[in-house]
Amino acid sequence: MENLGLILRLNNIEQDMKNSIKITAIILLILSIFGCEDESLPECVQGKVIGYQSCYNVNVIQVLSGTLKGEEIRWEGEQYQNVIQYPGGALSEEIIYFSYRFFNAEQDSTYANLICPANLAPLAVPMIVITDYSTEYCP
């Protein structure tokens, strides 16, 4: 009789484990389908380089795709939507694909502004730092 009781308990434990595995698998499947997007991955953005302001050492870029939001500006007689700026040497490419982070004055102190004439104001658009870019595809 003791053996029968032990066998029944082992069968119950086995059945409980199978049910636990099934429930865990279902939960993992639901989380993988409806889970949050990984916010730590850098976003890839397509942009058009519309100019370079040498005095402030910034590239002026119109964002063409992605969630990065810029401002509307007038640049060399043309009106542009969704414009941001990137400090650093002039980019010669017209269309670029890039990953970015927002400019941090302490972290990015190497991008020092040059002395500019009083009649040339800095652009009132968001400043970013490009972390990786390509002229052909998202990095």
Residue 24 lies in a domain: yes
Residue 99 covered by a domain = yes
Q: Across-strand partners of 46?
A: 65, 97
Strand-strand pairing, 95-102 and 45-53: antiparallel
Q: What is residue 38's predicted lDDT score, i.e. its pLDDT?
A: 46
Residue whose C-alpha is closest to residue 87's, from 66, 65, 114? 114
Single-letter amino acid, residue 138: C
56 with 124, same domain: the answer is: yes
Rounded average pLDDT over 13-37? 65
Q: Is 40 a residue whose pLDDT tops 60?
A: no
- The answer on 55 and 98 residing in a single domain is yes
Residues 12 and 68 in one domain: no
Looking at the structure, tell me whether residues 29 and 80 fall in a common domain: no
Say yes or no: 31 and 57 in one domain: no
Provide the pLDDT for residue 37.
47
pTM given for the model: 0.67
Confirm if 97 and 139 have CB atoms less than 8 A apart: yes
